[in-house]
């Protein structure tokens, strides 16, 4: 459960993974997914919260607090991704209307 820790130029950082919500937008949009996640979401797109500290000796209460922060970040990321999915879907519909020569009223 502890965070990953790395040392860079003598400074220790603790990395807390940002876990995705229950259902990612790719799955909700009906796109193919592997193991419940679109492969594009797993390649260089996972987020982490980097804290300049060695969290290895932190008390459980502080670790719980950081886990809560990562959950808040995950909720905001999911909200942002859902909004982006809606914008993409609307843009696709407009493009299809333009390409098919639909009347401007549509």
Instruction: Give the model's pLDDT for residue 23.
Output: 44
Q: Cα–Cα distance between 104 and 94 in angstroms, integer?
A: 11
Asked if pLDDT for residue 25 goes beyond 50, the answer is no
Q: Cα–Cα distance between 49 and 16 in angstroms, integer?
A: 5
Residue 101 burial class via C-beta count within 10 angstroms: exposed 0-12, middle 13-18, buried 19 and up = exposed
Per-residue pLDDT band for 1 (boundaries 50, 70, 90) equals low
User: Mind listing the pLDDT tens digit for each residue in 27-57?
Assistant: 444 444 445 556 665 555 678 999 999 999 8
Q: Cα–Cα distance between 50 and 17 in angstroms, integer?
A: 9
Global confidence as pTM:
0.62
Residue ranges of domains in the chain: 4-99
């Amino acid at each position: 459960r502890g965070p990953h820790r790395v040392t860079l130029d003598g400074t220790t950082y603790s990395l807390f993974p940002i876990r995705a919500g229950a259902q990612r937008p790719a799955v909700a949009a009906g796109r193919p997914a592997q193991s419940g996640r679109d492969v594009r979401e797993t390649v260089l797109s996972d987020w982490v919260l980097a804290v300049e500290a060695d969290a290895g000796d932190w008390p459980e209460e502080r670790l719980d607090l950081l886990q809560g922060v990562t959950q808040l970040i995950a909720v905001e990321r999911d909200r942002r991704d859902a909004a982006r999915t809606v914008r993409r879907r609307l843009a696709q519909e407009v493009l299809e209307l333009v390409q098919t020569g639909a009347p401007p009223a549509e």
